[in-house]
Amino acid sequence: MSYLESASEIAREAGALVADYYERRVPYELKSEFDLVTEADRASEALIIHRLREVYPDHRIVAEETGGHESSSEYCWYVDPLDGTTNFAHSFPMFAVSIGLLRAGEPILGVVYDPVRRELFYAERGSGAFLNNERIRVSGVASLNGALACTGFPSRKRSHDINIHFYYQVAMASHGVRRTGSAALDLAYVAAGRLDLFWEFGLKPWDMAAGVVLVEEAGGRVSDMRGAPHDIIESSHVLADNGALHAETLAFMDQVFRGEYRVPLPEM
């Protein structure tokens, strides 16, 4: 089996397990004040790690709930066993399993599986991006004022999050900004042309590893929020779009960084 075949099979299995917990409406616990975790996160992660180790015993694995599984291999799997836990815990049907593979630090493969809609998004470097066997491509929207944007707000340290400034400005300049609660699906939706751009501050490598390969293989562009090359491990902020919007969006974001707001916040 190829890396892509095994990752897809494992993501589907983990997704089915997560869907089973979803039907049973399991309780959540708190990792920190607003950071939720459930038995489904842990069971999905245990399944994925067990299955990856069976097939690739030498590879490294970095998984959200249990940390790292070290080895000297140049291959490293980044696993988010349940992306969108807050949605999951509130029966809001928007969550996914995300599995990405890096080789010598370069993302080379990504699989994102949404068990509610039974949508498997997958891509391998150089081979294009797919959704359930159909090739997907980014949208052709060429300006921000015709774009549907998306962002997210991490649950950790949320009172320090500067993103509300960006949210408001992009909302005023585009068709709107969605906030789905699953960064892995946000990136997959950019790849599929359902969203034109996505950005977020404070993401972890397992949130993005699969999604960035999907976006790039679907013809889009990924950088950090300042336009520097995106690095899964070093860059916690990301801007991913259809490519056509990249320069305009970076210039727009740069203005917000400098505090040059095009539209002032409304008076109370």
Which residues lie near ligand IPD (CB under 6 A)?
80, 83-85, 152-154, 181-183, 200, 203, 207
Q: Of 141 and 187, which CB lies nearer to ligand IPD in the complex structure?
A: 187
| Contacted entry of Ca ion, ligand IPD, none for residue 61, CB cut-off 5 to 8 Å set by kind | none
Contact 171, 147 (CB under 8 A): no
Q: Of 210 and 244, which CB lies nearer to ligand IPD in the complex structure?
A: 210
CB of 92 to ligand IPD, least distance (A): 11
Q: Of 200 and 216, which CB lies nearer to ligand IPD in the complex structure?
A: 200
CA–CA separation, 200 and 101 (whole Å)? 21
| Contacted entry of Ca ion, ligand IPD, none for residue 114, CB cut-off 5 to 8 Å set by kind | none
CB of 207 to ligand IPD, least distance (A): 5
CB of 19 to Ca ion, least distance (A): 15
CB of 153 to ligand IPD, least distance (A): 6
CA–CA separation, 210 and 142 (whole Å)? 25
CB of 58 to ligand IPD, least distance (A): 27
Interface residues with Ca ion (CB under 5 A) are: 64, 80, 82-83, 207
Q: Of 119 and 248, which CB lies nearer to ligand IPD in the complex structure?
A: 119
Cα torsion for 257, 87, 5, 220, to the nearest 10°?
Answer: -30
Q: Of 31 and 175, which CB lies nearer to Ca ion in the complex structure?
A: 31
Phi and psi angles of residue 172, each rounded to the nearest 5 degrees, phi first: -75, -20
Q: Where are the alpha helices (DSSP H) in the chain?
A: 3-24, 39-55, 85-89, 163-173, 183-191, 205-217, 246-257
CA–CA separation, 115 and 94 (whole Å)? 9
| Contacted entry of Ca ion, ligand IPD, none for residue 205, CB cut-off 5 to 8 Å set by kind | none
Contact 201, 161 (CB under 8 A): yes
| Contacted entry of Ca ion, ligand IPD, none for residue 152, CB cut-off 5 to 8 Å set by kind | ligand IPD
Residue nearest to ligand IPD (CB): 152
Q: Of 97 and 120, which CB lies nearer to Ca ion in the complex structure?
A: 97
Contact 214, 129 (CB under 8 A): yes
CA–CA separation, 165 and 181 (whole Å)? 18
Contact 196, 139 (CB under 8 A): yes
DSSP state of 227: S
Could you write out the three-class secondary structure of 153-177? CCCCCHHHCCHHHHHHHHHHHCCEE
CB of 44 to Ca ion, least distance (A): 9
CB of 221 to ligand IPD, least distance (A): 20
| Contacted entry of Ca ion, ligand IPD, none for residue 224, CB cut-off 5 to 8 Å set by kind | none
